Amino acid sequence: MTTLTHRARRTEVGKNSEKKVESEEDTNQDRSQDNEDTEDSKDIRLTLMEEVLLLGLKDKEGYTSFWNDCISSGLRGGILIELAMRGRIYLEPPTMRKKRLLDRKVLLKSDSPTGDVLLDETLKHIKATEPTETVQTWIELLTGETWNPFKLQYQLRNVRERIAKNLVEKGILTTEKQNFLLFDMTTHPVTNTTEKQRLVKKLQDSVLERWVNDPQRMDKRTLALLVLAHSSDVLENVFSSLTDDKYDVAMNRAKDLVELDPELEGTKHSATEMIWAVLAAFNKS
């Protein structure tokens, strides 16, 4: 959906026991998520969707680029990855007929609430859907890109605004009204620039000072965020503050990362299949 490009010159910057075990597994999944990325702020915990939107927002204006038509599907992909990393969904095991990531269906692992409205709404849809659907189909359904009128009920509405309100509640954004001649628009300028810069610095370091040249050795949430930032066409925002030399290195490494074969990477030991399945879905779009 998006392409990474070089720039020659930069002009812009028992049931009870089973339930108990399942509950313990969910708790462990959430704890492991909290323990990941130890350098993250201990006061503010963001979802992948919130991080993607924050990267895409213009700091002072408080809205995303009018020309960015990728971020909507990127946010839906982030919802699927977030649910998988929290132990709520997973891809069905590969079979002789369904080896490819894009052919395998998304299955429910746990329907216990996450505490996030968008995640729980998506979880409810996945639980109620028969027959099950693939990652690519779910991204399309959640975005509303379907010709089937009976499937429109799965569209998540006002996603950007709902995510922005979460960020307002977390003290990162504020809410304002902007007049654009013919209409008024609600905007969300960044107030906590420290948190956004921390996020930008983390991604910059992941492809510069802390580059490991092996996605399996990368922090899973950082890997997921790089994939989603690329798919949402906001990666330029992350690297725009770098010098020209570092910008080229960062972009080349990010390009090498997202051009890896998702099918191959998804089969490797300790790989998070949902990350690679989402990337495969965007590569096909």
Q: Look at residue 184 in the predicted model and tell me its pLDDT.
A: 81
Q: Closest Cα to residue 51, out of 210, 175, 201?
A: 201
The confidence score (pLDDT) of residue 7 equals 45
Residue 112 CB contacts under 8 Å (≥ 6 apart), including other chains: 22, 23, 26, 88
| For residue 137, pLDDT beyond 50 | yes
* pLDDT digits 0-9 by tens, 78-95: 999 999 999 999 999 998
pTM (predicted TM-score) = 0.84
- With tokens 């983390």, the residue in question is 202
Cβ-in-10-Å burial (0-12, 13-18, 19+) of 189 comes to: middle
Instruction: Please check the confidence at residue 19 and state whether its pLDDT lies above 60.
Output: no
pLDDT of 202? 96
Separation between Cα atoms, residue 285 and residue 277, nearest integer Å:
13
- For residue 185, what pLDDT band results from cuts at 50, 70 and 90? confident
Q: What is the CATH number of domain 48-283?
A: 1.10.3630.10
pLDDT (average), residues 1-18: 43
Q: What is the largest CA-CA distance in the chain?
A: 65
- The band of 69, judged by pLDDT with boundaries at 50, 70 and 90, is confident
pLDDT, tens digit (0-9, with 9 covering 90-100), for 153-175: 899 999 999 999 999 999 999 99
